[in-house]
Amino acid sequence: MARDAYDAFPAARDIIQNSDEILGFRLSKLMFEGPDEELTATVNAQPAIFVASIAMLRCIELPADVAFAAGHSVGEYSALVAAEALSFQDGLRLVRERGRLMHEAGTDTPGGMLAVLGVDDAAIEEACASVAPLVACAANYNAPGQTIVSGEEAGLEAVSEELKARGAKRVLRLNVSAAFHSPVMASAAAKLRQAIEQVPVRAPRWPVVGNVSARPLTTEADIRQELAAQIAAPVRWEASVKAMLVGGATRFVEIGPGKVLTGLLKRIAPEAEALNVSDADSIRSWNAPPH
């Protein structure tokens, strides 16, 4: 995870080594060597994704005409660092605490998440409502035809059967440890709010489109409210991308490990230009002078 960027670029190396110092343990060792079960634990996975993303960001020069930043779930913290609303150090500490609190909430109320394919959002919301008072809700509105449901174990079992009865093509259990972006995370959200209040936040250099509102965040107050609410609220990613399109964006660059958001963009706005910076080769391609 980001090892090739670490080896090739001093800027990436500085960020990753700095993260070890800030956290007080070798996150880099987990990123490079695993073991997978420890790296994928949410308390470690979230800071690892954040650090890898910022390491790659620091290796490239962003164009002068950036209109928006956005990030999916924990990626929103990377977007805020890119927009200079949060420092890297404060962002990393918050992400680590976010992961710890989400793990704690998930331990208190076991649950998980389901990927639902082939039914529209209205049918998913109706299915979730039908199993109340069991907890199941739409958690990630990712792209047309791809929505994630989150909830407690009993809620997931009940809503899975309900979704199949309503014509879902596939209902797949995701390899996550808890019911993220659902009311199960309410206790974590309340505790995270306290941590956020202790951290300096600035107005962003450019608007950051928030997961909760799918609208540009432009003030310190907007950002604090967003980060506190985000972990217990749905990620409105499709609406966020559409907000950026309405705002004039035509070119999107995904920076960080993987290409999931690039794939979602192709489903949301196939006409948009999609670029990806996810490893040393793509960093070199970005930095190469035009011919």
Query: Using 50, 70 and 90 to split pLDDT, how confident is the model at 221?
Result: very high
What is the per-residue pLDDT across 78-102, written as a single tens digit (0 to 9) for each?
999 999 999 999 999 999 999 999 9
Q: Which of the following is catalytic: 28, 73, 150, 278?
A: 73
Residue carrying the six token digits 């959200």: 189
Tell me the one-letter amino acid at 191: K
Indicate whether 291 pLDDT > 60.
Answer: no
Per-residue pLDDT at 89: 97
Residues of the chain with CATH 3.30.70.250: 110-173
For position 12, what pLDDT does the model report? 97
For residue 55, give the amino acid letter.
Answer: A
The shares of helix, strand and coil residues in the chain, as percent rounded to the nearest 5, are 50, 15, 35
User: Can you name the CATH fold of 3-106+183-287?
Assistant: Malonyl-Coenzyme A Acyl Carrier Protein; domain 2 (3.40.366)
DSSP assignment letter at 133: T
Determine whether 182 is an active site residue. Answer: no
3-class secondary structure per residue, 46-62: HHHHHHHHHHHHCCCCC
pLDDT, mean of residues 240-251? 97
User: Is the Cβ–Cβ distance between 158 and 136 less than 8 Å?
Assistant: yes
Residues of the chain with CATH 3.40.366.10: 3-106+183-287
Residue with tokens 């390899």: 175
When pLDDT is averaged across residues 9-20 and rounded to a whole number, the result is: 97
DSSP assignment string, 88-114:
HHHHHHHHHHHHHHHHHHHHHS-EEEE
Active site residue 181: yes
Count the neighbouring beta carbons within 10 Å of the beta carbon of residue 37: 8
pLDDT of res. 177: 86
Amino acid in the structure at residue 277: V
Backbone angles phi, psi at 214, to 5 degrees: 55, 35
3-class DSSP state for residue 249?
Answer: coil
Q: Give the model confidence (pLDDT) of 155-208 as tens digits.
A: 999 999 999 999 999 999 998 889 999 999 999 999 999 999 999 999 999 999
Residue of 176, 186, 179, 177 lying closest to 154 (CA atoms): 179
Select which of 72, 177, 181, 240 is catalytic.
181
Average pLDDT, the chain: 95
Residue 35: Cβ-neighbour burial (10 angstroms; 0-12, 13-18, 19+) = exposed
Question: What's the average model confidence in pLDDT over 115-129?
Answer: 94
What's domain 110-173's superfamily in CATH? Malonyl-CoA ACP transacylase, ACP-binding (3.30.70.250)
